[in-house]
Amino acid sequence: MFYREAGDFKTSYVNDSQTFPIQFDRWRYYAVLFVALGIVPFVINDYWASAVFVPFLIYAIAAIGLNILTGYCGQVSLGTGGFMAVGAYAVYKLMTAFPEVNIIFHVLGAGIITAGVGVLFGLPSLRIKGFYLAVATLAAQFFLVWLFNKVPWFYNYSASGQISAPERTLAGIALTGPEASATAKYLVCLGFVFVLAWLARNLTRGTVGRSWMAIRDMDIAAEIIGVNPLRAKLTAFAVSSFFIGIAGALFFSVYLGAVEVGEAFGINKSFLVLFMVIIGGLGSIFGSFAGAAFLVLLPVFLKNVLVGGLGWPTDLAAHLELMIVGGLIVFFLIAEPHGLAQLWRLAKEKLRLWPFPH
């Protein structure tokens, strides 16, 4: 059997604590990177970029950010859409105020601004938790959408109230605006996903991640053994908001190009990212990718099969999508709370033990 840990000898602490202890997993990881960097950029077109790859990568960043806060630290948040709006409007103001600065720094700056806003709205988590914290973050969602709608400075006093991304280039290649190619959009999003996923993986495996999980499992016991709840919770809000802010900045500048805050970053966006985390698996970086892939591919699959293949009405297919997502959320919450990531872990364990029963 090719999927075995036997024979993978570890002679150092570095090898013993590596992310992929089984050699086949490392090969699979390198194969995914090869496909993502060596094949997809040369065959991608506008349809696949706008319908599948770019939204998947952006939602994966947002799902990782929410998973850090909810899955690893145990702080429930329903304000993801509002924090994505902060990232979008922050990158818009930076792009228009400093047109000579590289777009990559604008996106990172938007993430830092969103991290500050996330810490501000994360302060109530020091006194409340659970349902009450969810309501507090939901209030942040509505407040931020109202703020960006009612204060004209945020959208540069535009008569329509919308914001549009000006064209920006990197090494002479347009990354935003109507001239941006599908390959450029895909590669810039892929670069952010790779770096942020690597950062999240190392944070969650280190001291910071262990303090988050201690607060999640039992905050009183964690405080007794020396974990600072103030530092742990606020760092979780800061890192989570940083990721979500970058996702919002990319969603506006690279993917859509023009947004209106109520339509693009309403409460539905918060629930969508939350559903990705629930279906993919709480407390799992892989689960964030799996949930994002599932909820991005599901509408495309239903549209092509039901509408394009069987001739169903579009609204019927959309309603069926909501029913499927709702049913899956109920199923995973009851049967497998750790989502697709846990199913993947169980499958790998079965392969490692096969043909033995246990």
DSSP result, 58-114: HHHHHHHHHIIIIIIS------HHHHHHHHHHHHHHHHHH-TTS-HHHHHHHHHHHH
Within 13 Å and on the Cβ side, how many CA atoms surround 330? 6
Residue 75 has pLDDT above 60, yes or no: yes
Residue 356 has pLDDT above 80, yes or no: no
Query: Helix axis angle, 54-66 relative to 80-97, nearest 10°?
Result: 120
**pLDDT tens by residue, 132-151:** 888 999 999 999 999 999 99
Q: Phi first, then psi: give them for residue 170, nearest 5 degrees.
A: -135, 115
DSSP state at residue 132: H
**pLDDT tens by residue, 318-355:** 888 888 888 888 888 888 888 899 988 888 888 777 77
Percent of the chain at pLDDT > 70 equals 97
Write down the pLDDT at residue 358: 58
Q: Indicate the Cα dihedral angle 182, 61, 122, 225, nearest 10°.
A: -160
- In the numeric block, which tokens belong to residue 103? 């777009």
**DSSP result, 201-240:** HHHHHSHHHHHHHHHHH-HHHHHHTT--HHHHHHHHHHHH
Write down the pLDDT at residue 337: 83
Write down the pLDDT at residue 1: 54
Cα distance from N-terminal residue to C-terminal residue, the chain:
16
Question: Radius of gyration of the chain from Cα atoms?
Answer: 21
Do residues 243 and 192 make contact, with C-beta atoms less than 8 angstroms apart?
no
Report the distance separating Cα 329 and Cα 109, nearest Å. Answer: 35
* Strand-pair partners of 300: none
Report the distance separating Cα 310 and Cα 131, nearest Å. Answer: 43
Full-model pTM: 0.92
Report the distance separating Cα 111 and Cα 118, nearest Å. Answer: 10
Query: Helix axis angle, 182-205 relative to 207-217, nearest 10°?
Result: 70
Residue 47 has pLDDT above 70, yes or no: yes
Helix/strand/coil percent split, the chain, to 5: 75, 0, 25
DSSP state at residue 154: G
Write down the pLDDT at residue 357: 63
Report the distance separating Cα 106 and Cα 95, nearest Å. Answer: 7
Over range 269-287, report the average pLDDT. Answer: 92
Question: Among residues 109, 86, 88, which one has the least CA distance to residue 256?
Answer: 88
Asked whether the bond before 355 is cis by omega within 30 degrees of 0, the reply is yes
Q: Indicate the Cα dihedral angle 267, 272, 275, 280, nearest 10°.
A: -150
Give Cα 256 distance to the centre of its chain: 17
